[in-house]
Chains A and B, each alone.
Chain A
């Protein structure tokens, strides 16, 4: 947990992103707000299509427009609204102040440039180092992420690295300019568990060393439990629950979070005879939400859920939940 420094390095308020498609609009992100402090790791969980990646890409203008359109909201990086700055300034931010690790290490490196070149590129662009300094920095970075024989591997091409190694290179690139905020978009999803364990270890280590804020997107609740300080659960383009990591797992309030935690089997403890399922499918996001997006799959659904979209309401200790049902606000998980 961060100590002392309570200023938010990144604050997002009411972000709304809409895609225009031939068959109408898709409201991928609906009024999403969150913040991170320096040294803090915010986990964002949700199923595919819940808008996790789109939210993060909206922050630093990585979505092509059209079709994407960031309609509303503000993204404050140290008080500066990134949605209003010039394209030039945004280029300085990307890779400089905000690092981004993409999901697929296989395709997010350029196959025709050497790994060394790709690491040196942001360093020279953002930090103004000359070739020699940039090279020294690149070697330092590769050593930092645990690639053996770093100096010798700078002139290698991405295909000469394995998946886990490539993801380390991606992390090295994202860290190249000492970003204030690191956004990691499912960085371990494409990797095996043993390699994932290596990457998680590196990230823990780097966070302690460098003290940046990290936003970690994943659909794996196990990963989140291990590394996050706070967790935001996304469903259908909205944050439905947000809490520090312990209350989220021990005292989940939103019916979706509760159900999600029950659907996953574990490698230890009791083995259930049958897996709990969440019936049905996530909703289509054809229009701005006018009712609770989880209503069709919710065991606690009642009249009000069909009429209004719940807003996130505080239930104490930095825990908030977007649900009308009184059980979400008072009781522990007994009935749900």
Chain B
């Protein structure tokens, strides 16, 4: 059994809302509200959910890009939940992030070489020549022509820019990378290229990923285990095949049935599609009881009163639903 590289326990990230003349705090957006999971060494945990469910916030909070409200985070044996940002800097090389928008996360005034080399300047004592070598090596690794080292981000296509972002994340030989929707902004044919690259790098460098995405079919491809988030909470967490074959939570079920199948024959017979009514409630004012009770097709009395506990229903298959009490 491999040991967990990342342990998250009861993570909470609340953003305060200030209002009124004196800007008093009148409430909080509970973007992440009590999330727990482990990520084993060398595995990919997929984190899926609709927009606004807190999956990106969760990813950023795990890396301590925010000062979290509550909870414990352990990365590579070190508790970083309450550490201050200054002492965290030493820890940063082991954990890195690939951002969603390859357009926005690269400084347009820096050359590709200086973008990829910047973490090396910050965290290592390499000489300029060593850095250039390393940058070329990294560009090679992610499939970019090393001759483009002095070009600017706008001269690259979306897929290539995402490769630059990946190279930058790899620069310090991290163990753990949070991929925050790395393919959402890319075209279908380019998505496959980037996902394959991420998988190859994982195999050759032994990386551990937290792969955040709203694309359930892509997560099925890349992840070993999958966590489904809804309104700030993980509602189901299971190994990939168990989750896709027999989802235990009604939300997961609905989410899976809503994904259109690229096969007209299946689309025709798929009349048992579950269409959820209404919208996701506001995380500033979540419903009482289970967060999903306002849209759940199988809602019961107890759901509007009690928040279901997140527990292991089957070995390795966790869910938070009263149906499995």
Contact = CB atoms under 8 A, between A and B. Distances in A.
Pairing of A with B:
yes
Interface of A: 47-48, 162, 164-165, 192-198, 200-201, 219-227, 245-246, 249-250, 259-261, 263-268, 271-272, 274-279, 281
Given A221-B262, A249-B263, A263 B276 contact: no
Given A268-B261, A275-B192, A48 B187 contact: yes
Nearest to A275: B192
Nearest to B254: A194
Given A225-B261, A267-B259, A192 B220 contact: no
Contacts of B191: 263
Contacts of B187: 47-48, 219
A261 B262 contact: yes
A245 B264 CA distance: 7
A141 to B, nearest CB: 20
A195 B267 contact: no
A55 to B, nearest CB: 17
17 contacts: A162-B279, A165-B279, A192-B214, A195-B279, A198-B277, A223-B260, A224-B262, A225-B261, A225-B263, A225-B266, A263-B192, A267-B220, A268-B244, A272-B221, A275-B192, A275-B195, A277-B193
Nearest to A221: B262
Contacts of A264: 188, 192, 217, 262
B275 interface: yes
Contacts of A278: 189, 192
Contacts of B264: 225-226, 245-246, 249-250
A112 to B, nearest CB: 23
B166 to A, nearest CB: 16
A263 B261 contact: no
B8 interface: no
A65 B214 CA distance: 38
A223 B270 CA distance: 13
Contacts of A276: 192
B254 A225 contact: no
Contacts of B199: 274
B85 interface: no
Given A192-B214, A222-B261, A263 B188 contact: yes
B51 interface: yes
Nearest to B187: A47
A219 B184 CA distance: 13
Contacts of B256: 267
B134 interface: no
B173 interface: no
A200 to B, nearest CB: 8
B273 interface: yes
B79 interface: no
Interface in B114-143: none
Contact of A226 (B159, B214, B216, B267): B267
B5 to A, nearest CB: 24
A267 B255 CA distance: 11
A201 B271 CA distance: 11
B107 interface: no
A196 B189 CA distance: 22
Contact of A225 (B192, B257, B262, B279): B262
A51 B33 CA distance: 43
A255 B277 CA distance: 40
A225 B159 contact: no
Contacts of A192: 50-51, 214
Contacts of A259: 189
Contacts of B28: none
A263 B188 CA distance: 7
B188 A260 contact: yes
A272 B222 CA distance: 10
Contacts of A221: 188, 262
B138 to A, nearest CB: 21
Nearest to A222: B260
B159 A193 contact: no
Contacts of B257: 197
Nearest to A200: B260
A41 B237 CA distance: 39
A246 B244 contact: no
A165 B217 CA distance: 25
A245 B157 CA distance: 31
B21 interface: no
Interface in B148-192: 157, 159, 187-192
Contacts of A250: 264-265
Given A225-B263, A266-B217, A267-B256, A193 B50 contact: yes
Contact of B258 (A197, A249, A281): A197
Contacts of A47: 187-190
B275 A265 contact: no
B242 to A, nearest CB: 13
Contacts of B145: none
Given A223-B260, A268-B244, A246 B255 contact: no
Contacts of B217: 264-267
A265 B279 CA distance: 27
B196 interface: yes
Nearest to B51: A192
A49 to B, nearest CB: 8
Given A48-B187, A265-B221, A267-B216, A220 B275 contact: no
